Amino acid sequence: MPKSDSEWRAILSPEQFRVLREKGTEPPGTGEYNKHNQKGVYHCAGCNSPLYVSDTKFDSGCGWPAFFDAIPGAIVRHEDNTFGMKRIEICCANCGGHLGHVFQGEGFKTPTDERHCVNSVSLKFHDK
């Protein structure tokens, strides 16, 4: 059963709520996981579902954690036309929390040619 806003506010920090539930964005270069390089799994900060493995993380220089692929079935994609741009929003498949956006065809030397640009505040890291 989906949580109400008051239930989410009780378990998330104000910044996590703003990003995960209200589709906000943290300022570039400020996130805890932007330059994070430990081996492990990144989980949703809202529901703790596993989303990304560290082997898919790369340094894109964009100011947010970047991954070239998610754990199969972990995320859902939605077209996002806010701010006059056509983007692909990514959300946790389990709780619907906003994670960030996917950008394609930027020429990074990754297996998918995708950059999942994810807000650090949307994530929790667990060592392997």
Domain limits, the chain: 5-127
Model confidence at 128, in pLDDT bands (50, 70, 90)?
A: low
Asked if 68 and 110 count as a contact pair (C-beta separation under 8 A), the reply is yes
Is the pLDDT assigned to residue 55 strictly greater than 90? yes
Tokens of 116: 């999942």
Tokens of 24: 């906000």
Kindly report the CATH number that applies to the domain delimited by 5-127: 2.170.150.20
Q: Nearest Cα to 119, choosing from 40, 52, 39? A: 52
Proportion of the chain above pLDDT 90, given as a percent: 91
Q: What is the pLDDT of residues 57-69, one digit of tens each?
A: 999 999 999 999 9
Average pLDDT, integer, range 17-36? 96
What confidence score (pLDDT) does residue 13 get?
97
**How many other C-beta atoms can be found within 10 angstroms of the C-beta atom of residue 114?**
20
Active site residue 62: no
Average pLDDT, integer, range 2-27? 96
This prediction's pTM: 0.94
Q: What is the pLDDT of residues 69-120, one digit of tens each?
A: 999 999 999 998 887 888 899 999 999 999 999 999 999 999 999 999 999 9
Would you call 110 helix, strand, or coil by DSSP? coil
Per-residue burial over 72-95, b if 16 or more Cβ lie within 10 Å, else e, is eebbeeeebeeeeeebebbbbbbb
Average pLDDT, integer, range 11-38? 96
Asked if 19 and 121 count as a contact pair (C-beta separation under 8 A), the reply is yes
- What is the distance between the alpha carbons of residues 97 and 42, in angstroms, rounded to a whole number? 14
Which is catalytic among the residues 44, 91, 92, 117?
117
What confidence score (pLDDT) does residue 82 get?
82
Tokens of 19: 């990003």
